[in-house]
Structure 1
Amino acid sequence: MLVLANMAAGNELNKEAVMDVTVPHRADRIKPSFVVNFLQSKDKQLRVATLWCILNLIYPNSESSSTRVARLQNAGVISQVKNMINDPCLDCKVLLSLLNLDIMHILIFE
C-alpha cells in the first residue's frame, strides 16, 4: 500500500493508474473495494498507508481530484473514512482530519 501511496503522490497519470488498481471503473457493489477492507484492518500501519494513498489521490490542487472523490464515494471508501473518526491510532486521526478537510474543500469549491 505504501508503494501505491507514493505513486499517488505523482502526476495525474500516476494517480489514474492507482485509481484503476484501487477502485476499478466497474466497481463490484457486492464485494467492497480492498481499500475499504484495508481501512477496516486491525493493522494500524496498513490503515495509515491506505489513508496516505487516499490523501495523495484527492489532493485538492490536482486536475481531476473531484472525479476521483466521486469514484471513491461510489466505491464506499469516503463513507468508510467518515466512519473512522474515532480511530484509536493518533496517526490515523491526523490523516483523517486532513482527508475530511480536503474532501470538504473539493465538494464545496469544485
Structure 2
Amino acid sequence: MVKIDDLEVKYKVWLAKDGKPVIGSGGASLLKAILETGSINAAANALGYSYSFAWTYLKKIEQRTGLKVVEKTRGGEEKGGATLTPEGKRLLELYLRAEEAVRKALENI
C-alpha cells in the first residue's frame, strides 16, 4: 500500500504561443548549452542530440515565435559558431523564471 507521504508532486513547464508549445525543458537546455559552448553542434553533442534535431528544434522555436533566437557565424579559420540573440536570451530567461516559480510554489505544498 502507498503512503501519502511517499507521493511526490511532478510537473512540466513549457512556454506556448497560440496554444502550440514553443519551448520546454529540452529547448531550454539546448539554448543554455549554445550559450555556454558557442556552437549548435557542441551543444547538441553535449545533450546527446543530433545536429539535425537541434537545428529543427531551433527553427520550430523561431517559426512559432517569429523571433530569431540563434545567430550563426560561418566557418573559416575560426570554424564558426552560434550565439543566442537578445531575444533568445530573453526567451531562455523567461522559461527559467517560470520553471523556478513553479518549483518554489510546489515546495509550499
**Between Structure 1 and Structure 2, which shows a larger proportion of strand residues?**
2
* Structure with larger Rg: 2
TM-score (norm 1): 0.32
Higher relative contact order (CA 8 A, sep 6+): 1
